[in-house]
Amino acid sequence: MSAWLHDLQTPALIVDADALEHNLSAMAAAKPGATNRPHVKAHKCTPLAGLQAMHGHRSFTCATPREVMGMAAAALGDDLLLANEVLDPHRLMILSSLQEQAQITLAIDSNETLDAVAHAGLQRVIIDVNVGLPRCGIAPDKAGALADKARARGLTVAGVMGYEGHLMMVTDRAEKKAKVDEAVDLLLAAHADVGGDVISSGGTGTYDLHDRVTEVQTGSYALMDTSYASLGLPFRQALHVWTTVISATDQWAVCDAGLKSLGMDHGNPSIDGQFVWFCSDEHITFSPTRDSGNAIATVGSKVKVAPAHVDPTVAYHEWLHVVRGDEVLDTWAIDLRGW
């Protein structure tokens, strides 16, 4: 029996099946197989990760232990990189117990994170290197010593990773390439001391500027958001929040999605042909742009809202409905939420 978009309870997260397929194919053509390690933090959805695997990517990046556990449970655990530091002994023990069914590599950037991983009995680490983003990552000139300590404790050191998140939104391509090259220089200097097969870096905003790493870690490209759309990348806006207009005046309309169903750290969401005035907890107030010729939306009508930041938007929702036109083709659990 068919299900229809207009029957969904709102706010609902929807993905356009054709835009998603376009995005997955475009990335698989640019970065085939193991040269892309899709980051599941951007969609938190094992059915979508399964599609990425069908497009040739069998290795994945995760941000939380929960994501690793869920990927292993979904039989997508050939090669899971937890690209984040973890100190929680309980969660590390759970990851350790999964090593028979999944290959799990943990990022470390300090003696403390090495200790935590080693105590839990985890076997594989990657040295997380600071390539310019003031977040996690050890200084490049200290990476080799940490790798030596890890090997001395019997661990396998897979290689290095370095995430240049501060460069994703640089708009000038030549400037971006030069800055990415500087970041990669730092990563390669660390790799010379660390060794290992893996040199992992990058994201949706820089995937096509990397030619000296073994793999890129791209997340947002699959679903996309309006921030990344502003860069003119070859990926389509596949994700929207489907909403109902619940109130209207002769000057504005209000739909039933707000801060609690949209990641807002990259700014207001967008609605085609409309100007978004502001968002509050459960509401977006909007009105037609002057040149759109649109009338004010009527109470009961439906509105598609494009989020400015995909990752936190997805994390607010339990389900992702796959749609084509007016038809709901499938409903996927967003099953990797939590920590």
Ligand X SMILES: Cc1ncc(COP(=O)(O)O)c(C=O)c1O
Binding site for ligand X (CB under 6 A): 39, 42, 61, 83, 163, 165, 168, 203-205, 217-220
Q: How far is the CB of 245 from ligand X (least distance, A)?
A: 31
Nearer to ligand X, 44 or 255 (CB): 44
Least distance (Å) from ligand X to the CB of residue 39? Answer: 5
> Can you tell me the distance from the alpha carbon of 282 to that of 289, in angstroms, rounded to the nearest whole number?
22
Between 64 and 217, CB nearer to ligand X: 217
Question: Least Å distance between CB 204 and ligand X?
Answer: 3
Task: Between 42 and 147, name the residue whose CB sits nearer to ligand X.
Answer: 42
CB of 301 to ligand X, least distance (A): 32
Minimum distance from residue 278 beta carbon to ligand X (Å): 26
Nearest residue to ligand X, using CB? 203
**Minimal distance in Å, beta carbon 169 to ligand X?**
9
Q: How far is the CB of 189 from ligand X (least distance, A)?
A: 19
> Tokens at residue 262, please?
């949209």
Residue 135 or residue 153: which is nearer to ligand X going by CB? 135
Choice between 43 and 317, CB closer to ligand X: 43
Of 163 and 242, the one with the shorter C-beta distance to ligand X is 163
242: β partners? 12, 304
Give the nearer residue to ligand X in terms of CB position, either 199 or 303.
Answer: 199
